Structures are given as C-alpha cells and as structure tokens.
Chains A and B, each alone.
Chain A
C-alpha cells in the first residue's frame, strides 16, 4: 500500500484510475509503465473528435477522385455520348478547382489573413514612423 501511494505521489502525471493492485509491487497501469502509449491514446482520441472538420483542398480532392471513377464508368459503354463528355468536363472543372485551392493554401499566411480582417488588434498593429 505504501508503495502504491508513493508511486502515485512520485508520478503526478499518472491518471486517477490507477487500478487497485492486490499483488503489491508492479502496478499494471499501461500509462505509468509505457507513457508513450498514454500520449498516443490521448492523441488519437483528440483526432477522433476533430474528424468532422476537413480542410477544403481535401474535400475537393475526394470529389476529383470520385468524378474520375464516375467518368471512367460512364465512358466504358460509349465514349462519344453526351454523358461521358459531360463527366470528363466535370473532372476537368474539379481538377482546376483543386489546383486553385492548393495554390491559395500555399500562398496564405494565417497571420496575414487574420490581420487583413482585423488590423486594429495588437498582433497586427504596424508602426511606420
């Protein structure tokens, strides 16, 4: 018992659900023995929460992929039909949109974007004289 409490005192990062160990001796807490596991578990949990928010270029990339598959399917029957041509035109349009999104993302600096809309905030003030 004394070892348990000393363990919990010595390792303040240990989570509260330290299991009550009847063996005494080694405490089989995955977090204490392998702290890297704890970090990654917390990380993956955080990532799961963030999943619904996706950056625009990824969304467009998925659309491009889907449209290519669709076009290839439609055109396998009749390459000269209106549907096939319209499908490949859609692929072209989405590829162009994806390329523009990539360029925009490459150029954009988060601080510059924020300061463009809020020039009076402390981070964005400029002193010219």
Chain B
C-alpha cells in the first residue's frame, strides 16, 4: 500500500536534512516529529520536520446507552462486521475496559471519570452526573486520536472503583467511544462521524436487569427495582437528552403483538434514522419515503406465534426529519431472516444474505432472534459503508492535492 507522506520543514536553515523513515515502531497512522540538531560551534538551532501520513484519518463513532443496555453486545457485533475479534490490550492492565481489533479500538468513556467510587460516594453524585466526568480530557484525547496522535488514556477499574495508571492508545482506523456521555459535550459531539443511542424503555430495562441480576447473591426484585428508580432522575436529566443528537436511535419497547405481555421476551424494536446525515443513507422497505406496513408471514412464509410485523415511514423526532424502520416479533427460522433481508433496501450489504450470515455467526448473543440484533447488525454494516465512503473520499482529495 503506497502511503503518500508529506514532510514539511519548518526551519529557515537550509542545512537541515530530512531523515525521517515512513514507518516507525509506532505504526503508520502516527504524526511523527523528528528533531535534528545542527552541530555547529554556534550552539545549535534545531529544525523541526513534521511528517504526517496522508491516510491518518480516524473515523470516530459514538455509542450511548445506560448500563446494562446492550452496549457490549453491540460492540461485539460491530467489530465482527469489520472482521476479527476485539480483545483487551495484551500485556496491559487486566481490568482495562479498552478493546482492540485490527480495524477498531473501542474506548469506554468510564475511563474519563474525574471522581472514583469513593469520591462519588463522598459527594453524593452518581456516575451519570456530568460532575463525575472530565469532559475536557475526553475532548482532548478524542481530538488527538482523530488526528493520528497516540494518547495515554486513564483507566477506570470497575472492580476496585479506582482510577488506574494510564495505558497507551494508538490511533486506529475506527475509534468507537461507548459510554454514558459520548454526545453530552458539544465539542466531543462535533468530533463524531456517526452516533448511535440505544433507547431501552423502562419495562424492557427492568426485565433485562432482572435477567442479569437475579443470579447474583444479595439481589432481590426490590433491590433491582430500587436501583433503577433511584438512578432514573439523573438518567432522565443527563443521559436521555442525548438521543436528540444521535444519527441513529435503536428504541426497544415491549411487543404489541401479545396483549398484556410482561415477560419481555418478544420485543418491538424501532430503528430511527436521521435524514441528511453525510455518508449515511437510511434503510428502507419497498419505497423510500412512503409509509409501509408489512407482515411477511403468509402464503410464502410461515411463521410461528406471535409472528413478525414491520413498519416503515418518515416521521419527525425531536424536530429532526427521520425515517423509522420498525420490527415487532421474533425470528424463529433461518428462512424468515433471509426472507426479511431480501425485501429490505439500502442495507449496505456486500453480498446477498450478509445480514443473515452475521446474525447466524453470533447466534449465541442476546437479541439474535429479534429486532435488536437485526438492527444492530444493519447499523454495523452502515458504519462500515460510512467508513469506506470517508476513506475513499479522503484519499481522492489528497491525490488531487498532490496532483495540483
């Protein structure tokens, strides 16, 4: 891969020589500063030669959701779309929250807590409160990573509740920042190329947390309920408003197909996609911009109870123009999945059946049989498409610049 490197000398002296290799041990995507000291008796000036690789563009994706709402599952699906499994950095802190794969690095925004667990307890402040987070540091480091500079990011240890010594993060091709506040600070919001918000309704959240915590000693239905209720004011004040800024919102609600259902197994999932976002074209059913109600089960496809119901249409969401694709029900069989996929348009798949293949690859992940997994996979493919569009447009622009 030919990497056009642009080196500029910022010195007036003509005796400086450029001796910067294109590749260092720190990798391609590195802004590299080489200091060369002129050895004369006059006591030297030094020239600064900065070389930056032209393809050091990092695409930054933001993912917001409350704790226990499926961020980790989404992350695993997203990194799998790009290939490879994301793993914690080798040889580092075993309690690190960072995940690294070939193309992506996932940073957990809990690492930017300014108060550790004892600090928050003293002040009576939750992790949801902006006072517990250092947004200045978050902005500085995300900006640095976006421009191709490695950073020393702090680590928040969830086990001990303390802030551990920092770890080195090298700028990746795709940086994903996931946590409670990726879109809270305006400066960080402007750095994001794409943002997603996982909006889980209260009933579903309660059902999921029961599933997660009932196996835990000490927890009871009352304690789970109390935990959700007491965090709700902070959540509504600080986290929930972020959904108006998101480019895509995955809203999870209880099903409408089963009357009085309170098990929370069958879900109604709505993918709310903002119109007019650069490099992002919403998924649609049959006819873009029209309103469609679709039940795929019938003569060609037999589904078991409660079946599947789709809805697509334009709408307004927090005064933004959006398109909403909605799925209610569950996938029981492979042919249901592939049938539905073949009728959707603009899914950004590279081959027929890619969504189904990705869903099957991770059939053990939660949500693999309903809209949560389905839409998460589609959003993953959309992000891949967005990344390819951005990189191809940037290389085209730089090639034009070198030609001119």
Q: Which residues on A are within 8 Å of B, measured CB to CB?
A: 56, 59-61, 63-66, 68-69, 71-72, 75, 79, 81-102, 117
7 interchain residue pairs of minimum CB distance: A82-B124, A65-B218, A89-B126, A88-B230, A97-B158, A88-B227, A68-B218
Contact flags B84-125 to A (C-beta < 8 A → 1, else 0): 000000100000000000000000000000000100110111
In the bound assembly, the distance between CA atoms of A100 and B73 in angstroms comes to: 11
Give the distance to chain B from A75, nearest Cβ to Cβ, in Å: 7
Residues in B with CB closer than 8 Å to A66 are: 218
Known contacts A72-B223, A83-B121, A88-B227; A93/B67 CB under 8 A:
yes
Known contacts A86-B125, A90-B121; A64/B219 CB under 8 A:
yes
Residues in B with CB closer than 8 Å to A63 are: 159
Of A63, A86, A102, chain B has the most CB atoms within 10 Å of the CB of A86
Q: Which residue of A lies closest to B72 (CB)?
A: A100
Count A-B pairs with CB separation below 8 Å.
Answer: 97
Say whether B25 faces chain A, with CB atoms less than 8 Å apart: no
B230 contacts A85, CB within 8 Å? yes
Known contacts A93-B67, A93-B117; A79/B230 CB under 8 A:
yes
Residues in A with CB closer than 8 Å to B289 are: none
A86 contacts B124, CB within 8 Å? yes
Of A61, A89, A94, A101, chain B has the most CB atoms within 10 Å of the CB of A89
In the bound assembly, the distance between CA atoms of A114 and B372 in angstroms comes to: 34
B124 contacts A81, CB within 8 Å? yes
Give the distance to chain B from A67, nearest Cβ to Cβ, in Å: 8
Taking A93-B161, A96-B68 as given, write out 4 further A-B residue pairs in contact, using a Cβ cutoff of 8 Å, ordered by the A residue number.
A81-B124, A88-B226, A90-B120, A95-B213
A-B contact pairs, 20 of them (CB 8 A): A61-B217, A75-B226, A83-B124, A84-B230, A85-B234, A86-B125, A88-B227, A89-B127, A89-B227, A89-B231, A89-B234, A90-B117, A91-B227, A94-B158, A95-B68, A95-B219, A96-B212, A98-B216, A99-B212, A99-B216
Residues in A with CB closer than 8 Å to B355 are: none
Question: Which residue in B121, B212, B219 is a CB contact (below 8 Å) of A87?
Answer: B121
In the bound assembly, the distance between CA atoms of A94 and B158 in angstroms comes to: 7
Residues in B with CB closer than 8 Å to A101 are: 159
Give the distance to chain A from B174, nearest Cβ to Cβ, in Å: 23
Give the distance to chain A from B239, nearest Cβ to Cβ, in Å: 12
Contact flags B182-219 to A (C-beta < 8 A → 1, else 0): 00000000000000000000000000010011011111
In the bound assembly, the distance between CA atoms of A27 and B72 in angstroms comes to: 64
Say whether B269 faces chain A, with CB atoms less than 8 Å apart: no
Known contacts A71-B226, A85-B234, A88-B230; A93/B124 CB under 8 A:
no
Say whether B128 faces chain A, with CB atoms less than 8 Å apart: yes
Residues in B with CB closer than 8 Å to A86 are: 120-121, 123-126
Residues in A with CB closer than 8 Å to B161 are: 90, 93
Residues in A with CB closer than 8 Å to B216 are: 61, 64, 95, 98-99
Residues in B with CB closer than 8 Å to A56 are: 159
Question: Which residue in A59, A69, A82 is a CB contact (below 8 Å) of B123?
Answer: A82
In the bound assembly, the distance between CA atoms of A91 and B363 in angstroms comes to: 30
B159 contacts A97, CB within 8 Å? yes
Known contacts A60-B159, A75-B226, A87-B121; A92/B217 CB under 8 A:
no
Of A56, A59, A98, chain B has the most CB atoms within 10 Å of the CB of A98
Residues in B with CB closer than 8 Å to A96 are: 67-68, 158, 212
Residues in B with CB closer than 8 Å to A65 are: 217-218
Question: Which residue in B72, B120, B158 is a CB contact (below 8 Å) of A89?
Answer: B120
Give the distance to chain B from A99, nearest Cβ to Cβ, in Å: 5
Q: Which residue of A lies closest to B68 (CB)?
A: A96
In the bound assembly, the distance between CA atoms of A79 and B234 in angstroms comes to: 14
Q: Which residue of A lies closest to B157 (CB)?
A: A97
B218 contacts A69, CB within 8 Å? yes
Contact flags B261-290 to A (C-beta < 8 A → 1, else 0): 000000000000000000000000000000
In the bound assembly, the distance between CA atoms of A85 and B228 in angstroms comes to: 10
Give the distance to chain B from A70, nearest Cβ to Cβ, in Å: 9
Residues in B with CB closer than 8 Å to A93 are: 67, 117, 127, 158, 161
A85 contacts B223, CB within 8 Å? no
Scan residues 279-335 of chain B and give those whose CB is less than 8 A from a CB of chain A: none
Give the distance to chain B from A53, nearest Cβ to Cβ, in Å: 16
Scan residues 215-256 of chain B and give those whose CB is less than 8 A from a CB of chain A: 215-219, 223, 226-227, 230-231, 233-234
Residues in A with CB closer than 8 Å to B226 are: 71-72, 75, 88
Residues in B with CB closer than 8 Å to A72 are: 223, 226
Give the distance to chain A from B234, nearest Cβ to Cβ, in Å: 7
